[in-house]
């Protein structure tokens, strides 16, 4: 059986910098299920912290960044 490689992830702050949004906007979108590149996991206990998982490859695709071209954005992206 082939060993699975770890998946690269990003923080809401890192994603926000690329999209020119603040981290809280990214967190809110993830909590509301508006983004296809990640998810938000609610706290187990009241008053606990949310956890955010942003899959880097899905985020880069969403943002139109072609990682095969060294991180260049596709022509239609600003």
**Domain boundaries along the sequence of the chain:** 9-72
CB 65 within 8 Å of CB 73: yes
To the question of pTM greater than 0.85 for the whole model, the response is: no
Q: Tokens representing 13?
A: 């702050």
**pLDDT computed for residue 1 by the predictor:** 76
- What interhelical angle do 23-31 and 12-19 show, nearest 10? 110
**pLDDT computed for residue 52 by the predictor:** 98
Using 50, 70 and 90 to split pLDDT, how confident is the model at 2? Answer: confident
**pLDDT computed for residue 76 by the predictor:** 39
- Rounded to the nearest 5°, which phi and psi values hold at 57? -65, -40
Q: Tokens representing 35?
A: 């983004």
**pLDDT computed for residue 78 by the predictor:** 40
Residues 32-78: tens digit of each pLDDT: 999 999 999 999 999 999 999 999 999 999 999 987 655 555 443 44
Paired strand residues for 73: 65
């Amino acid at each position: 059986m082939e060993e699975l490689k770890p998946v690269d992830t990003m923080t809401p702050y890192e994603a926000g910098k690329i999209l020119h949004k603040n981290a809280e906007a990214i967190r809110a979108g993830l909590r509301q299920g508006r983004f296809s590149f990640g998810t938000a996991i609610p706290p187990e206990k009241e008053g606990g912290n949310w956890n955010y998982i942003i899959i880097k490859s899905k985020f880069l695709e969403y943002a139109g960044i072609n990682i095969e071209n060294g991180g260049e954005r596709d022509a239609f992206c600003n």
